[in-house]
Amino acid sequence: MDRDATADVNAPHSMGTTIIGVTYNGGVILGADSRTSTGLYVANRASDKITQLTDNVYICRSGSAADSQIVSDYVRYFLHQHTIQLGQPATVKVAANLVRLLSYNNKNMLQTGIIVGGWDKYEGGKIYGIPLGGTILEQPFAIGGSGSSYLYGFFDQAWKEGMTKDEAEQLVVKAVSLAIARDGASGGVVRTVTINNEGVTRNFYPGDQLPLWHEEVEAHNSLLDILNASSPEPMST
Amino acid sequence: MSSIGTGYDLSVTTFSPDGRVFQIEYAAKAVDNSGTVVGIKCKDGIVIGVEKLIASKMMLPGSNRRIHSVHRHSGMGVAGLAADGRQIVARAKSEAHNYESTYGEPIPIKELADRVASYVHLCTLYWWLRPFGSGVILGGYDRDGPQLYMVEPSGVSYRYFGAAIGKGRQAAKTEIEKLKLSELTCRQGVIEVAKIIYGVHDEAKDKTFELEMSWVCDESNRQHQKVPEALLEEAKAAAKAALEEMDAD
């Protein structure tokens, strides 16, 4: 509290972040918070960390915002060419492999953890985790970002194989909101993207509608609303 | 038959007045004069067979392989100039390897065929290169099922149910058309291919030959491999028996 509170607004944008990808019976659900911080300053409180690569493959980005954006731009470009050459949609595995080649070969310069999730007709719904060094690991679910530290135990207990779409969505939203409660670098709203054979659906959960956890205080309206109040008396005895 | 393209056939970068590139056609002749290569797509895989004409009795049986594995899931039978064929195989192996390194999955057979065809075609575009004097029959089994492609010296590549190149291709194609490929398993297909190759071999004109066969099917675990010894012998015996039956008529 006594620390000098001036934030370094010129620091590189980092997404403290909580990102999650889970498979369910029929597809995948990707979820993320929406806080982009520059040091202590929240540069964007409603960012979209779930980025599209193709019609059927999306990624969750964490770490350096610039690095993760560049990687996703490159992979989108390569996948586009690959799709033209192949004559059919790219598989999730190929997308994930392209991401990890970039992550691994440029590991000295990049600082980004990525979760690749999508659906293709050969393998169905798949999630691939590609953390900092460029390892690629196919997993039934993956978590990443600074907020994920608080979710390992939670997933150990709450994760089940073969959930329905709604169960999986509830799990993802609950998990992100738990992480937001504990991780200072995660916050804002919860965004989810559901991908299955029928297509892609985006969902949005405003921050003030998320459940409250231990010792969390209820949200209340901004005191600035008083200025718009009909009564000229801001305070009453 | 084709005419001699006097004056327009000296370079692969010259068209004739009737729109033909004679050098490519001459390259195809090299393939037409070589031992027959047959490929069929059965319901559970691919079978490739080669009539390997033996130039000399001093050669070790099993040498001078005409069928090569390109990747775990695919292989090619080569007809025409052997050294040219080896180059095509090497390129195919390299493409398959690079694809897997970049994309993390085995190269789809369609993609492999496209790349091989592009490479063969490339060598018909420059005056300082000559066209490949060999054609290949490429068979493989990927996640879209078994597929068979043929690449000609012109760089043209099509997908086939059954294909044949080399000396006995006309007769072989006629025989293949008689088969009900969608009902054959590879095990049965191996016997049929052996019969076809023995059938089209011209005893009078050519020297002895060695039968070389490979398959990639469910039974081989979708890996490209030589047809197992026992089945090969069974196929040869059946083929010889079929020949005798024909001669007896």
Residue A214, pLDDT > 60, answer yes
Contact A86 B104 (CB under 8 A): no
Classify A143 as helix, strand or coil: strand
Q: Which amino acid is at B115?
A: R
Among the listed residues A6, A17, A51, A135, the single catalytic one is A17
Shortest CA distance to A91 belongs to which of B184, B220, B103, B4? B103
pLDDT digits (tens, 9 = 90+) for A188-211: 999 999 999 999 999 999 988 888
Token pair of A22 as six digits: 């889970």
Q: pLDDT value at position A9?
A: 65
Residues B126-147 have a mean pLDDT of: 95
pLDDT digits (tens, 9 = 90+) for A169-188: 999 999 999 999 999 999 99
Give the list of residues 6+ apart from residue A164 with CB closer than 8 angstroms, or none.
A24, A25
Contact B104 A97 (CB under 8 A): yes
A17 is catalytic: yes
Residue B3, pLDDT > 70, answer no
Tell me which chain B residue has its CA closest to the CA of residue A99: B103
pLDDT digits (tens, 9 = 90+) for B167-183: 999 999 999 999 999 99
More confident residue, A18 or B203: A18
Residues of B in contact with A101 (CB under 8 A): 102
pLDDT digits (tens, 9 = 90+) for B18-76: 999 999 999 999 999 999 999 999 999 999 999 999 988 898 988 889 999 999 999 99
The 3-class SS string of B158-178 reads EECCEEEECCCHHHHHHHHHH
Q: pLDDT value at position B238?
A: 95
- What whole-number distance in Å separates Cα of residue B65 and Cα of residue B73? 18
Q: State the residue for tokens 């020949």.
A: B243
Among the listed residues B14, B36, B102, B208, the single catalytic one is B36
Q: Which of A87, A93, A122 sits opposite B104 (nearest CB)?
A: A93
Contact B103 A85 (CB under 8 A): no
- What whole-number distance in Å separates Cα of residue B229 and Cα of residue B214? 11
Q: State the residue for tokens 């469910």.
A: B218
Q: pLDDT value at position B170?
A: 95
Strands (DSSP E) found in A25-121 = 27-32, 36-38, 41-44, 50-52, 57-64, 112-120
Give the list of residues 6+ apart from residue A52 with CB closer than 8 angstroms, or none.
A58, A76
Q: What is the percent of chain A with per-residue pLDDT over 70, rounded to a whole number?
A: 89
Q: pLDDT value at position A40?
A: 87
pLDDT digits (tens, 9 = 90+) for B18-31: 999 999 999 999 99
How many C-beta neighbours within 10 Å does residue B42 have? 27
Burial class (CB in 10 A: 0-12, 13-18, 19+), A167: middle
pLDDT band for position A68 (cuts 50, 70, 90)? very high
Could you tell me which residues of chain B have a Cβ less than 8 Å from any Cβ in chain A? 102-105, 108, 110-111, 114, 143
Residue B185, pLDDT > 60, answer yes
Closest CA of chain A from B192, distance in Å: 33
Contact A85 B105 (CB under 8 A): no
Task: Specify the pTM.
Answer: 0.87
Residues of B in contact with A91 (CB under 8 A): 105
